[in-house]
Chain A
Amino acid sequence: MEPADEDRIAAVLAGDTASFEPLVQKYSPRIFAMARRYARREDEVEDVVQEIWSKAYQRLAGFRGEAPFEHWLMRLAVRTCYDFLRRHQRNRESSFTELTEAENEWLDRFVAAPAEAPEDADAARQLVQRILDELSPDARLVITLLEIEERSVKEISRLTGWSPTLVKVRAFRARAKMKGILAKLARDKYL
């Protein structure tokens, strides 16, 4: 039988660094999937994940075992991704005249027949990424967690450390900001 996470953590705290490796192997896929939502380039993704594991190791003594290790780790991961977004905040308003041909085609199809525009198209995904890049770090985080990962307000509150009211306020503002970006996109393209 495999040792439990708690046993491995106890071993790491007792000085057995090698016991940390199975934890990294077990949880890295989830952490990579999360980091890829916020960092675009693969080298940035790897650096973020590296930072998450480094912090997890340094703060391991603070894990009291009241909740599963995975929850503790995901909280740390979300906060590190948020820090990454803040550090790499792009203070530029990208022009939607830079849209690729595929993105333009997808938008044209949407305007012609909104219900028929495919949701599984690469162009739609690229367009979402472009819009998310325009958002502020907290707006992007809350839209990703609430609208894309479909987590509850309570869960987001636990992950981010924000109060449930603050999560709702930020979600409201983020949706409004996103609508504003889409309106700008429509103006740039069709007016």
Chain B
Amino acid sequence: MNHKLLQEKLLAAARAHPPSDRVPYAFEKRVLACLPTQTAMDPLTLWVTALWRAALPCVAIMVLFFVWTRTSPGPGESAPAPVANLGSDLETTLLASVSFENELSW
């Protein structure tokens, strides 16, 4: 048997009869009904979306802290601390370790 010729004949038979392109009735409806709820996004879009979503809570936290620092009373004060004290309080806190070392050197 000539295998090469047989192979050619069989491939020619397959070429001569392409499969049907018939689409079942209402197939597009079935496709649409089974679609996943969301399209997959590329990583960049995903990252940008996540950043935008995180922005609102971050702003809210910032506002809350701002309000809290403005309204909370300072140490040993019963009334709300004056705004002018906020800067000096921060300075005292930051320089606390340096002042402490200076005291020890005496």
Contact = CB atoms under 8 A, between A and B. Distances in A.
Contact of A148 (B1, B5, B14): B14
B60 interface: no
Contacts of A179: 3-4, 7
**How many A residues are at the interface, by size bracket?**
35 or more
Contacts, number: 114
Nearest to B41: A61
B6 A182 contact: yes
B11 interface: yes
Interface residues of B, number: 37
B32 A20 contact: yes
Contact of A57 (B16, B20, B23, B39): B39
Contacts of A33: 18-21
B45 A147 contact: no
A3 B18 CA distance: 30
B34 A54 contact: yes
B27 interface: yes
B59 to A, nearest CB: 26
22 contacts: A21-B28, A24-B32, A28-B23, A29-B21, A32-B19, A33-B20, A46-B24, A49-B27, A54-B36, A59-B39, A60-B39, A61-B41, A61-B42, A62-B40, A110-B1, A114-B2, A119-B9, A120-B16, A128-B11, A150-B15, A175-B7, A186-B3
Interface of B: 1-7, 9-24, 27-32, 34-36, 39-42, 45
Interface of A: 12-13, 17-18, 20-21, 24-25, 28-30, 32-33, 36-37, 46, 49-50, 53-54, 57-62, 110-111, 114, 117, 119-121, 124-125, 127-128, 131, 143, 147-148, 150, 175, 178-179, 182-183, 186, 190
